């Protein structure tokens, strides 16, 4: 899992991180950032479009941390996008 | 030991804050029902503008009589599932009359609309299939999708171009594809751009389901919903609806023309493992569906009332949920606290509307949601507009 993927995800998460918490790979997207279930799905939609991949809701429900999501993104990105 | 209730501490705090701002908006009681548009609430006669009682049919004398007769003849409850002892002649008759009304070959009734969506999603799609659902879908659609075990892909609200892109991403996968939209979206009152989705069917080949919960009986020259209004019924494979709104009873249905549709009865757990609707509810639904067919003037009245409320709110400069008049007229508010405060002021002034807060709303919106009834008269509508003017505009100015 590359730092680049994590950084890109953190950037996409910014508009949803209304309490301006510090973000790391270990941050739990829903619990730590106090983001409700609908906002998590909206955020994942941004991630899907940014990386041009599909992340089904079934996968979202098993993804807790930013690191988990980065791993999903990398597994689903055919060619890893460089910043 | 970890207390199972620990996870609900956040809800408890949010609820407690609501109580400091006024009465319990989530536990309001109609102490007495005066008419489809009036009830006694907290000792005050209140105009009801958030009932989904679109046709105002709940106290119709013929529907009441039908329910009373059915209860006397068939009893208070069915004590069983449709696939065991709970199928009565009434259920079969309701399915036949609804199929005729909808111009569909098959119709299956459920105990609630919520279960209709659970049943249809899980009966149609399985673990190898993919369901593409609009991001603003009702919770019953989300829950039905989860129950199905299908792969779930959410597309941007009312955006067929976005769906096109997402379908392209999963091109070539095994399994069928079901796309789910709603006729009128329950929170913002906007309609699905059905023609765009129908166009996309030609490109991608999928089966299309429309939940007409808020549009059944309401939209279209025959009251069959959005597809009827748009003249695209042949392109919608499956229709879901509820009896809890325009029909004024309890229950729901799924309908379609597929030659194997009836096999769903043996594949839908929310149909099989619950008791069928009570005879009274089924009988009132039959009577009400007949009225939907025979009394188009109810739809015309509802349309006129909806347009009047919509235009009145627009003239006040309120920020509305969508830009076309529909029986759901939602007003966007600044934040949760001001929404709760305004809702309380409206209740004190004698008008009930729905309060809708995230995550029950799209895009974190806080809404005061009105639903219009054919049973409102223009004086009611004008009074609702005047009260919104007083309460909402005053709050915004404060
Ligand atoms: C879009 C939509 N679908 C389904 C339902 C469920 O209907 P019911 O109240 O009959 O369970 C509702 C309303 O509750 C709804 O708004």
Nearest to B231 by CA among B103, B373, B374, B106: B103
Residue B171 binned pLDDT confidence (cut-offs 50, 70, 90)? confident
What are the helix (H) ranges across chain B? 9-20, 61-74, 89-102, 113-124, 139-148, 160-169, 194-204, 226-230, 269-272, 279-294, 296-316, 336-349, 378-388, 394-397
Residues for chain B: how many in total?
398
Cα–Cα dist A13/A40, whole Å = 9
Q: Residue A80 above 70 pLDDT?
A: no
Give the pair of three-digit tokens for residue A3. 């730092």
Using a pLDDT cut of 70, give the percent of chain B over it: 100
Residue B26, token pair as written in the block: 């989530």
**A30, A58, A76: best mutation site toward chain B, by most B Cβ within 10 Å?**
A58
Q: How far is the CA of B8 from the centre of ligand 1 (A)?
A: 25
* Predicted ipTM of the assembly: 0.91
Beta strands in B212-284 (DSSP E): 238-242, 252-256
Best A57, A59, A60, A78 member to test B by mutation, with max B CBs in 10 Å, is A57
Instruction: For B119-151, write each residue's pLDDT tens digit.
Output: 999 999 999 999 999 999 999 999 999 999 999
**A contact set with B (CB within 8 A):** 36-39, 41-42, 45, 48, 52-54, 56-58
Give every CB contact of residue B6 below 8 A, 6+ residues apart in sequence: none
Q: Kindly report the pTM of this predicted structure.
A: 0.96
For A3-77, CATH number out of 3.30.230.20, 1.10.1200.10, 3.20.20.70, 1.20.950.20 equals: 1.10.1200.10
Task: With CA atoms as reference, report the closest residue to B94 among B108, B115, B76.
Answer: B108
pLDDT, residue B90, reads 98
Cα B343 from chain centroid? 21
Residues within 8 A of A (CB atoms), B 141-160 only: 145, 151-154, 156
Q: End-to-end distance of chain A based on CA atoms, in angstroms? A: 14
Does residue B98 contact residue B282 with C-beta atoms inside 8 Å? no
Domain ranges of chain B: 9-48+296-397, 61-294
Band of residue B65 on the pLDDT scale cut at 50, 70, 90: very high
What's the rounded Cα separation, in Å, for the pair A75 and B98? 48
Which residue does chain B place closest to A77, by CA atoms? B169
State the Cα–Cα distance between residues B298 and B245, nearest whole angstrom.
14
The pLDDT assigned to B396 comes to: 72
Residues B28-46 have a mean pLDDT of 97
| Nearest C-alpha neighbor of B97 from the set B299, B278, B295, B290 | B290
Pocket of ligand 1 from Cβ distances under 6 Å = B 112-114, 117, 138, 140, 182, 186, 211, 213-214, 242, 244, 252
For residue A76, what pLDDT is reported?
Answer: 93
Taking domain B9-48+296-397, whether its CATH number is 3.40.710.10 is answered by no
Chain A contact present for B202, CB below 8 A: no
pLDDT in tens, A40-66: 999 999 999 999 999 999 999 999 999
Q: In testing the pocket of ligand 1, which one of B51, B54, B138 has its CB within 8 Å of the most ligand atoms?
A: B138
CA B141 to ligand 1 centroid distance, Å:
9
Q: For position B393, what pLDDT does the model report?
A: 79
Report the topology of domain B61-294.
3.40.640
d(CA A1, CA A68): 9
B388, B317 in Cβ contact below 8 A? no
User: What span, in angstroms and rounded, lies between the C-alpha atoms of B384 and B305?
Assistant: 11
Sign of CA dihedral B239, B244, B245, B248: positive
**Torsion sign over Cα B72, B75, B81, B86:** negative
What pLDDT does A79 receive? 54
Q: Please tell me the predicted confidence (pLDDT) of residue B305.
A: 98
From A80's Cα to the closest Cα of chain B, the distance in A is: 16
Is B359 in the A-facing interface, judged by CB distances under 8 Å? yes
Q: In this complex, which of A38, A39, A54 lies closest to B169 when CB atoms are compared?
A: A54
Contact residues, chain B, for A58 at CB < 8 Å = 151-152
CB B249: neighbour CB atoms within 10 A?
25
Closest residue in B to A60 (Cα–Cα): B152
Query: How many CA atoms lie less than 13 Å away from B192 in the CB half-sphere?
Result: 36
Q: What DSSP assignment string belongs to B117-138?
A: HHHHHHHH--TTSEEEEETT--
Residue B123 CA to ligand 1 centre (angstroms):
18
Q: Indicate whether B159 pLDDT > 90.
A: yes
What count of CB pairs under 8 Å joins A to B?
A: 34
Decide if A58 and B153 are in contact by the 8 Å CB cutoff: no
Mean pLDDT of B100-104: 98
Place of tokens 């399985």: B126
Going by C-beta distance under 8 Å and a sequence separation of 6 or more, which residues neighbour residue A78? none
Report how far residue B234's alpha carbon sits from residue B289's, in angstroms, rounded to the nearest whole number: 21
Distance CA B193, CA B156 (A): 12
Residues pairing with B179 in the sheet: B132, B208
For residue B190, the model assigns a pLDDT of 98
Query: What tens digit of pLDDT does each residue of B72-99 get?
Result: 999 999 999 999 999 999 999 999 999 9
Chain B residues touching A45 at Cβ < 8 A: 135, 154, 156
Selection from B104, B161, B163, B113 nearest residue B141 by Cα:
B113
Instruction: Provide mean pLDDT across the span B308-324.
Output: 96
d(CA B132, CA B262): 24
């Amino acid at each position: 899992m590359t730092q680049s993927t994590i950084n890109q995800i953190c950037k996409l998460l910014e508009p949803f991180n209304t309490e301006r918490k510090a973000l790391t790979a270990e941050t739990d997207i829903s619990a730590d950032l106090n983001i409700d279930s609908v906002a998590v799905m909206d955020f994942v939609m941004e991630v899907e479009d940014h990386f041009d991949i599909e992340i089904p809701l079934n996968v979202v429900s098993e993804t807790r941390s930013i690191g988990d999501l980065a791993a999903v993104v990398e597994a689903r990105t055919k060619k890893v996008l460089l910043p | 030991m970890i207390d199972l209730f620990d996870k609900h501490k956040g809800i408890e705090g949010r609820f407690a804050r609501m109580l400091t701002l006024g009465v319990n908006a989530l536990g309001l009681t109609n102490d007495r029902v005066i008419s489809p548009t009036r009830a006694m609430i907290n000792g005050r006669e209140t105009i009801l503008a958030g009932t989904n009682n679109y046709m105002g049919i709940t106290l119709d004398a013929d529907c009441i009589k039908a329910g009373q007769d059915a209860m006397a003849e068939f009893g208070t409850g069915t004590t069983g599932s449709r696939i065991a002892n709970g199928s009565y002649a009434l259920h079969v008759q309701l399915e036949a009359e609804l199929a005729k009304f909808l111009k569909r070959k098959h119709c299956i009734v459920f105990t609630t609309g919520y279960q209709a969506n659970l049943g249809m999603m899980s009966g149609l799609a399985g673990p190898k299939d993919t369901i593409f659902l609009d991001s603003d879908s009702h919770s019953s659609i989300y829950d039905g999708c989860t129950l199905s075990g299908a792969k779930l892909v959410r597309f941007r609200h009312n955006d067929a171009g976005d769906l096109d892109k997402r379908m392209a991403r999963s091109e070539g996968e095994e399994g069928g594809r079901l796309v789910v939209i709603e006729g009128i979206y329950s929170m913002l009152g906007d309609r699905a751009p059905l023609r765009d989705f129908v166009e996309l069917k030609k490109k991608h080949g999928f089966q299309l389901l429309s939940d007409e919960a808020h549009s059944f009986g309401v939209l279209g020259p025959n009251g069959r919903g959005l597809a009827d209004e748009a003249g695209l019924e042949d392109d919608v494979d499956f229709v879901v609806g509820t009896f809890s709104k325009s029909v004024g009873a309890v229950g729901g249905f799924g309908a379609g023309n597929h030659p194997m549709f009836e096999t769903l009865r043996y594949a839908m757990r929310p149909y099989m493992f619950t008791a069928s609707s009570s005879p009274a509810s089924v009988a009132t639904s039959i009577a009400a569906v007949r009225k939907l067919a025979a009394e188009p003037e109810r739809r015309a009245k509802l349309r006129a009332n909806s347009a009047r409320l919509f235009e009145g709110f627009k003239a006040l400069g309120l920020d509305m949920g969508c830009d076309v008049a529909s029986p759901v007229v939602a007003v966007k508010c600044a934040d949760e606290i001001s929404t709760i405060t305004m809702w309380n002021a409206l209740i004190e002034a004698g008008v009930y509307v729905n309060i809708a807060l995230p995550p029950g709303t799209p895009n974190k919106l806080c809404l005061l949601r009105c639903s219009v009834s054919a049973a409102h008269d223009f004086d009611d509508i004008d009074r609702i507009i005047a009260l919104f003017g007083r309460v909402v505009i005053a709050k915004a100015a404060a």
